[in-house]
Structure 1
Amino acid sequence: MNVARSLAVGIGVAALVATTAGTALASETEPVLPAGVSQEQAATDGKLDPEHLAHKAAKEAEERALGLDRSPSGSLPLVAVRKANGEVELQARTADGTLLAADYPCSSGFACLYYNSGRAGAVFRQGNDGKPLSISNYAGYTFYGTGNGSGQAVKNNAASIQNSRSGKYAVYYLSDYSGPADIALANSGRNLDFTYNENASGQPYTG
């Protein structure tokens, strides 16, 4: 093989490698949408916004750095625990009997979204004297409290939920109570799965 042909082959291989690497990188960074959710629906609810994708990646890295267990989980039952000051707080009980308190209390009658996994960080409470139980679009609402994420937008930004109610509660991937949903059983807490940092609406679930 002469020098010119060797050079041409080498350039061709290099271009192929670069193209393949670029394709792999693009496929790794493009968001994978749940089954049944169209690009148009996702775009309408802000799922494809570069700012949202960057914030989501940074938040996931932050949760790993904080050592938070962000694995999807089934609903953990709540137990009424009387604190030293006499107040009763609802805490989640794990399979081994460990009681886990939320960073911000979620009293009976509320459905509470948390900024971080494990019911940690700032909170957004729905029900009773909080916001409405049924919200068709979380746009415009913010987390509050002294925890991590206070002042941040609620939409596409919640990681866990505590449902301190007697009925189930659903958090939906899309606005208007559509798309994949995470169901929190009555009087339970859990990490979000389908709607992890992708929550768009929520309401009591009757299914």
Structure 2
Amino acid sequence: MKLRAAAAVTAALAFAGVALSGTNAQAATGVPQICSKYSNYLCLFYNSYYEGAYYATQRQTSNFDGEWFDRCGTSCAGLEYPVKNNAASASVGNTGSTARIFFNSNWAGVWDDVAPNSKRQLDKTYNNNASMNWL
């Protein structure tokens, strides 16, 4: 009887580990489902290669001041850090529009574009991102 109880507990823990390890969509695309081609969001990630905490938005933002990495992705690294000047990578879902990430607030300075249904490392705005607009 104790053996059956131990096996049941082990199975339950294994199932919980699978359930908490992330969605199949995240594993398949490398980004959370809200940031994938199945959505209409821009996601900015705290770490390179779509790792760590992320921020998701559908609206243009003239200044990332007051915005926070508020969701855990592959890890929670960067959770509750400010988005402004802290994003390393980005993805855009099925928006039909390109997201332009700007170096300065109010849509000024150099920029990186992220096309619909794509993801990329930020280059000109790597950890120097202050605003974004849809093109």
TM-score, normalised via structure 1 length: 0.48
Point out which structure has higher relative CO (alpha carbons under 8 A, 6+ apart). 2
Segments of 4+ in structure 1 off by > 6 A? none
Distance 2:101 2:131 in 1: 6
For the pair 1:188 / 2:118, whether they are aligned, the reply is yes
Question: What is the correspondence of 1:108-123 to structure 2 with a 5 Å cutoff?
Answer: 108-123=39-54
Q: Find 1:162's aligned residue among 87, 91, 97.
A: 91
Cα separation, 1, equivalents of 2:26 and 2:118: 9
Q: Contact 2:26/2:33 (CA < 8 Å) preserved in 1?
A: no
Name the CA distance, whole Å, in 2 between partners of 1:105 and 1:204.
Answer: 17
For the structure 1 residues 183 and 110, does the alpha-carbon distance in structure 2 shift closer, same or farther, using more than 3 Å as the test? same
Q: Tell me the number of residue pairs that the alignment of Structure 1 and Structure 2 aligns.
A: 107
Shift of 1:145: 2.1
Mark the runs of 5 or more structure 1 residues left unpaired by the alignment: 1-86, 92-98, 128-132
- Write out per-residue CA displacement over residues 108-143 of structure 1, whole angstroms, 9 at most, x where no aligned residue: 11010000011111010011xxxxx21000001110
Assess if the C-alpha contact under 8 Å between 1:103 and 1:120 holds in 2.
no
**Alpha-carbon separation, structure 2, partners of 1:172 and 1:185:** 14
Matching residue within 82, 89, 106 for 2:25: 89
1:129-166 deviation digits (Å, cap 9, x = unpaired): xxxx2100000111012321000000000000001122
Does residue 47 of structure 2 align to residue 142 of structure 1?
A: no
RMSD between aligned residues? 2.1
SS at match of 1:190: strand
Gaps of at least 5 residues in structure 2 are 1-22
Larger Rg: 1
**Structure 2 length-normalised TM:** 0.72
